[in-house]
Structure 1
């Protein structure tokens, strides 16, 4: 046991020659050699040792008059987290001064310290090395200097020093200076510094600060620099990150736009437990830009000093497994917010559909095409046999000059049960029920009660078919509490509706496995699944229902479908077996036995016809380099495709990729989108984006970004034309240091 309580162990020790001393001296020298390396961090040259120590040397000696111990000749000291190598290592017992000389190499955790000599105090953890070099593996930083002094656990002072993240003897860029101070997981400073390219000085700076961070730390984050010709002018944003505590942090955003003014934002993030966390964000701008604009039914004639901003709160609080409160609140000051800031905003940067991203949960793509914005608060109780959810939803409609007529839902309480056997019969049943209160300042509003019991009877028809009849009754009751004279005649204030549903599904499945022995696949499984579904809903008699009641169409139709799938079995080089659905093709259509009028009629959808649209869905995914999907609808009565959507993605092993997208809906949408990422050379990439509205004959967006990247730096040059604005981008990144 060492004096500071650290434990150590000796596994073996090799000597070619031993001079002087006794067994007690041997024990002491092992003790102090074990203390030579403890309590120093990897980035601080040494680390506290916990566990066995293995010491090898050619010669070991103790000089009593100097109270000093010596290990000489190919000294190698191995410990739990690293290795120290030197020609000679000595330790003065009285001063605790240790000295390693000759080809000194300290390796720990992947970081490497090299020098001619290494002198340090094992108590104060400070010391110095001559002609030293340090490599910090966590962010690939190289430090070298004529003299490196270590002050404390993770602070260095370097004289006639140089720092870079480039590999090689002659780095492509470096920062050098007469005196440098570096704090690991903090910042570095340079006095009388020079920025060098291939070791040739390019410019001089009397003082420079740069980040040397490997973990979450308070400090400045990378700025954003851009120029917008029409919307913002010179655009600079500098974020500052503040680690308040282990479970709480904040980021402050300072953004200057020469045509609009200063926009200030703040984000707070907290995590109490893996299931309880949240993010709050808000920003404010006193907009000084004069704007006159009309878009659809909304218009603006703004002069300076428009007070603008946004607010966002996303959180989850878990009380017990399956019982939690989730909020997703989004508010902006005006209908033009995302149109003005579509190129860069907090919401666009934090948009994600990945549920594992706790702090990137913005659920909408915040660009200028956004027509509405929802805010929700829900409390959920999720049990094995049922789910109860209480919900409040508020919607901002950006297409309307006023939100007074927009229907809001608060609260909604819903109950869903799991389909279960009914007593000891072959029947299965479940019950769904909801209560809603719909509110708006102008228009119909009130209560809505809805309950729907469902009964099914699954039946196997031998080995090849399955028949599932289903019957349900949906009871809807409304109670309006608006007193607007204009709306009083548009439906009864109190009433109800019964909807009877009967469905029956008959399906079967045929499959066959083919041994193909191809390079990519060794076997293919082909499945053909035909199915028939009959649905009957008599006239619900809902003409007097308020406009906030969802209409249900009268139905008496037969839907037939055919699905083909191909699943491949693949074997990897390591012998593992994986499966991939390489093809899925489904065709389905409904035949209305009785001609009915659809309440919610889509443009292009057949009216008063027996045969409804022929729908086709195709997914083709044969390998990681190619995927294709199609969603088409054909009006069989006039022979016209009134809705067609295609997506094609092509990739290669180099990293080239292309994504072509086509969207068409008759009289509404006709657009082509293309995104190409081309690796022109090993170091040069080009990214092209084209979005074109064929309906109006206009280019929505055209952009190009050229990226030149090396092992330790990159340059991005870009231009974007979005129709109503043009933006220029220039970004230089020094990897491991900043942008």
Structure 2
């Protein structure tokens, strides 16, 4: 398909970014179905050769080329491009003066050129596209600095840009300004990941400190990670680790050691010595989408090392996890081998070795019945920290548990009815850990129930509003009768998890679900999904009131940028809220805001706000905090301001932790890698 038109008003350079912006503004977003489309001020077709000149723009499948002149054979796909060339494929931008390219084979020979592949600028002596997903670069310079004289750059004799994601290079020299600082014979790096990070500061607990981290590749798939942390009050901490990423596997190993010069600066505990260390191992191995191995192990020198030196990890998980999980399943069954083992004796834990095999709800042949089955075989041991003031006796038991439910879905006009019958049996080899200990026990729980529900919908609006286009309301009332009769009370069983807490049930769940739907970007989207329910107690089983708490569970993506999540309960007899969790988030280019509130009556009321102002700007600010208003405890406050100068990003911040620990910090890194 050949077309001719007037000269584009496209300015090909004030820099690669301005050229890219002009290209984006002047060209249609879509790629036509024809294999190529050329537009130019002058267009000729002679002897099976196309000659285009004067503001030429050519589209060749998923490649767009702007140049002064293009000549080529549409049958063979060979193109010769000259003069002020801008080559775009996906998010790759290349600029040069001469190019030979075959749009059918997707191969080409590029001369001296400038290449932009976010976030890296590349100056290359010779470029050759050797396959659909790989470029060969000779004499390449890499930097994230847009200036002509970069602050930091790397020079490689030969490099390959693969999949638009990472660079493989040989003979690489790193420069600060014009001074070479390091040479590596081989380098593999993801374009969107940083190499070095530096943080400096002063704190009441660490004193003056400097934290440095370097990530360098060993092979195409394995990175070598080194941390050197200097603390004027505590000494020198050394971290060494490895991270690996393969198509089917990802993981890391991290080790840290510090000869602590003041081990009791914060905690005066006999568990803490001057040898402070941690070891961490994580690995995920994917065999198929439903067959994988996931494992995580942590070993610590003492219970305070994470809180003192890895506060972010400690906030996320005060007691580190130690487990291995091997999962296999398909659309009908799922199975898991799960091992959890405490490695440090200063934590409470339930050590377990467990195998589970589940049959998902499945139709039995051509019958109207459906069966669901959940089965576990486990060896369990409850262990306690040796630092507890009162040291309870550990206890253990083998446990076999099988829960089976038979369903008979029915529909009567608008009404859905799902009667069910269930039977659960749980065997314990030992009950020494029970309040009323004995020998082995077999608990049986026969059960029955029926769920009734229907739904109705109504179009409330077809107009486009701030939440989307159109609004549809779906309402679903439901009632679920639950009856279970346990043969043994919980005080005769050892307590390991929620399976051991099961007891008699005779109640009705009554609920109402409301869903508001709209359309966003041409797709059906939920505007509000709200579920409110309670339980009516047919048999109170020791309870005082006829109804349990009123529960609410809501997920509300009010817009594409604003999300509200609610989950909690209301005690309508006492007029109190026993627990409630709230999360609000809003994302825009100029501001990212979130607020979380975790409330548990009489224990915690934790507020966690966070705001990022102008996260992509030359000046940006981050602020967050943690405040427990139940205990009037300000747990954490941080304010950090960042300023970008060319390719460098400088940060200055203040951090306050509970127990009056304070830090002032300065960070230096590349602006392309703000993390």
**1:323, distance to aligned residue in structure 2 (A):** 4.2
Provide the rounded CA distance (Å) in 2 between the counterparts of 1:279 and 1:286: 24
1:456 aligns with 2:438: no
**1:586, distance to aligned residue in structure 2 (A):** 2.0
Query: 1:564 aligns to what?
Result: 514
1:402 aligns with 2:346: yes
**1:503, distance to aligned residue in structure 2 (A):** 1.8
Query: 2:17 aligns to what?
Result: none
**1:531, distance to aligned residue in structure 2 (A):** 0.4
Query: 1:69 aligns to what?
Result: none
1:669 aligns with 2:649: no
8 A Cα contact 2:296 2:323, kept in partner: yes
Query: 2:475 aligns to what?
Result: 528
Per-residue Cα deviation, 1:184-216 (whole angstroms, up to 9, x for no partner)? 65655669x67xxxxxxxxxxx76569999952
Query: 2:424 aligns to what?
Result: 474
Change over 3 Å in CA distance of 1:527–1:207 after alignment to 2: closer
Provide the rounded CA distance (Å) in 2 between the counterparts of 1:639 and 1:235: 51
Provide the rounded CA distance (Å) in 2 between the counterparts of 1:250 and 1:478: 48
Provide the rounded CA distance (Å) in 2 between the counterparts of 1:245 and 1:567: 49
1:633 aligns with 2:606: no
Provide the rounded CA distance (Å) in 2 between the counterparts of 1:493 and 1:582: 55
1:416 aligns with 2:358: yes
Provide the rounded CA distance (Å) in 2 between the counterparts of 1:224 and 1:291: 27
Provide the rounded CA distance (Å) in 1 between the counterparts of 2:618 and 2:215: 32
SS at match of 2:590: coil
Change over 3 Å in CA distance of 1:619–1:313 after alignment to 2: closer
1:426 aligns with 2:374: no
8 A Cα contact 2:434 2:493, kept in partner: no
SS at match of 1:339: helix
8 A Cα contact 1:688 1:703, kept in partner: yes
Change over 3 Å in CA distance of 1:489–1:737 after alignment to 2: closer
Provide the rounded CA distance (Å) in 2 between the counterparts of 1:738 and 1:478: 54
**Aligned equivalent of 1:165, options 145, 151, 155:** 145
Query: 1:216 aligns to what?
Result: 189
Query: 1:620 aligns to what?
Result: 556
Provide the rounded CA distance (Å) in 2 between the counterparts of 1:189 and 1:584: 53
Change over 3 Å in CA distance of 1:141–1:429 after alignment to 2: closer
Extract unaligned runs of 5+ from structure 2: 1-47, 54-67, 99-110, 128-135, 160-168, 384-392
Query: 1:438 aligns to what?
Result: 380
Change over 3 Å in CA distance of 1:663–1:212 after alignment to 2: farther
8 A Cα contact 1:284 1:310, kept in partner: no
**Aligned equivalent of 1:552, options 497, 502, 511:** 502
Query: 2:398 aligns to what?
Result: 447
**1:642, distance to aligned residue in structure 2 (A):** 2.4
**1:154, distance to aligned residue in structure 2 (A):** 3.3
1:229 aligns with 2:203: yes
Change over 3 Å in CA distance of 1:215–1:472 after alignment to 2: same
Query: 2:319 aligns to what?
Result: 372
Per-residue Cα deviation, 1:571-604 (whole angstroms, up to 9, x for no partner)? x4xxxx211111122221111122224xxxxxxx
**1:326, distance to aligned residue in structure 2 (A):** 3.2
**Aligned equivalent of 2:256, options 283, 287, 291:** 283
Per-residue Cα deviation, 1:218-248 (whole angstroms, up to 9, x for no partner)? 9993133132413333333444444333344
Provide the rounded CA distance (Å) in 1 between the counterparts of 2:487 and 2:238: 54
Query: 2:105 aligns to what?
Result: none
Change over 3 Å in CA distance of 1:409–1:689 after alignment to 2: same
Change over 3 Å in CA distance of 1:289–1:515 after alignment to 2: same
8 A Cα contact 1:475 1:498, kept in partner: yes
RMSD, aligned CA: 4.3
**Aligned equivalent of 1:316, options 276, 280, 285:** 285
1:337 aligns with 2:281: no
**Aligned equivalent of 2:546, options 586, 605, 610:** 610
SS at match of 1:311: strand
Change over 3 Å in CA distance of 1:582–1:309 after alignment to 2: same
Provide the rounded CA distance (Å) in 1 between the counterparts of 2:251 and 2:208: 33
Per-residue Cα deviation, 1:623-679 (whole angstroms, up to 9, x for no partner)? 123332332321111112222333222344x42232223332210111222212233
Provide the rounded CA distance (Å) in 1 between the counterparts of 2:673 and 2:481: 65
Provide the rounded CA distance (Å) in 2 between the counterparts of 1:81 and 1:223: 46
Provide the rounded CA distance (Å) in 2 between the counterparts of 1:262 and 1:528: 62
Query: 1:493 aligns to what?
Result: 439
Per-residue Cα deviation, 1:385-405 (whole angstroms, up to 9, x for no partner)? 3222221112468xxx734x6
Change over 3 Å in CA distance of 1:327–1:488 after alignment to 2: closer
Change over 3 Å in CA distance of 1:228–1:711 after alignment to 2: closer
**Aligned equivalent of 1:648, options 556, 559, 584:** 584
Extract unaligned runs of 5+ from structure 1: 1-51, 58-73, 87-103, 116-128, 195-205, 349-365, 598-606
TM-score where L is the length of structure 1: 0.66
Change over 3 Å in CA distance of 1:212–1:569 after alignment to 2: farther
**1:609, distance to aligned residue in structure 2 (A):** 1.9
